[in-house]
Amino acid sequence: MNGQPSLARHLESFFHHRLTQQRNATRATVAAYRDALRLLVLFASERTGKKPCALAVEDLDRDMILAYLDHLEHSRGNCVHTRNARLTAIRSFFHHVAASDPGSIGVAQRVLSIPSKKSDVPMPHYLSRAELDALLDAPSKSSPCGRRDRVLLLFLARTGARVSEALGVEAADLSLDGARSHVMLRGKGRKQRVVPLARDLVAAIESLLRESGIARHDPVPVFVGARGERLTRFGAIHIVRRAVATASKHMPELARKEISPHVFRHSLAMMLLQSGVDLLTIQAWLGHAQVATTHRYAAADIEMMRRGLDKAAIRGSAAHRFQPKDAVLSLLERL
């Protein structure tokens, strides 16, 4: 490899030193970067005919990265957001390569110059109160699995937590003290925030803890799978899909909507906004880094805009059409 350190060596130092020791990255970040770089290594191995362990840094040049990004979109069906997330992982890796291997700075700089791809920012989808209630009533109350499912859905709906935040909650993070009840959530970038708990959610959590034999201050996960392990993201997605399938039997319009765990977060934000809660409070509640992210919900609420028209007394009556006096302009207007 012409004296160049192997790609495997760079990958090992990137994950064990840069991400884990220097940046103290979360497990979710490490997993996301691992998946992005694993797919890249497999793609480069197939394109070059080399085994993954034989790849060098120069094999992952700008052209290879661009081809990989196109492969993600066109062959794997990834959206632009996922494509950009993979590119972020690659950039982080090549920042590490440039810092630790001066001979590879040229390759790294060309890769780092690849821009993110712009995409449309979709309007947030949200559920009406009737649709939300139908989903919360869908899980069976006669089985432990169904009761756990309902508590998880209720937690997502009442706290607005991201699915990773909800699944990361442990009994020690809960403070179940009547009207002052709250939960500590660990968000992106290890940021922590405290969110109040509604009364129906407090009762549901207390019942779940008793059934699971979990003490209130135990450092163990609240939402677990069949074998007692922490529930996974895929498990949560399956729970939501199962609830949608059940609820859509009585409310068919639910089957036509794209409903994921994140939709519960959007739905709470819209309910808070429509109830008159200000954007800064909603921003703190949801853990948004910028209020501009929270402002998307105001832009998505057409009913609030209609009420704004009424408050402004805008009648919408047609204005008088301008009639030009000049003969030439009059002629052109008649064409």
Q: Please list the active-site residues.
A: 162, 188, 262, 265
Q: What angle do CA 30, 108, 22 make, to 5 degrees?
A: 35
Closest alpha carbon to 176 in 205, 148, 150: 205
Where does 187-225 show beta strands of DSSP type E?
192-196
Which runs of consecutive H residues, i.e. helices, occur in 213-256?
A: 233-247
Using an 8 Å Cβ cutoff, are 162 and 187 in contact?
Answer: yes
The residue among 152, 125, 129, 134 whose CA lies nearest residue 239 is: 152
Which DSSP state fits 75? T
Instruction: Compute the distance between CA of residue 205 and CA of residue 212 in angstroms, rounded to an integer.
Output: 10
End-to-end CA distance of the chain: 75
In 128-232 the beta strands, taken as DSSP E runs, fall at 174-175, 182-186, 192-196
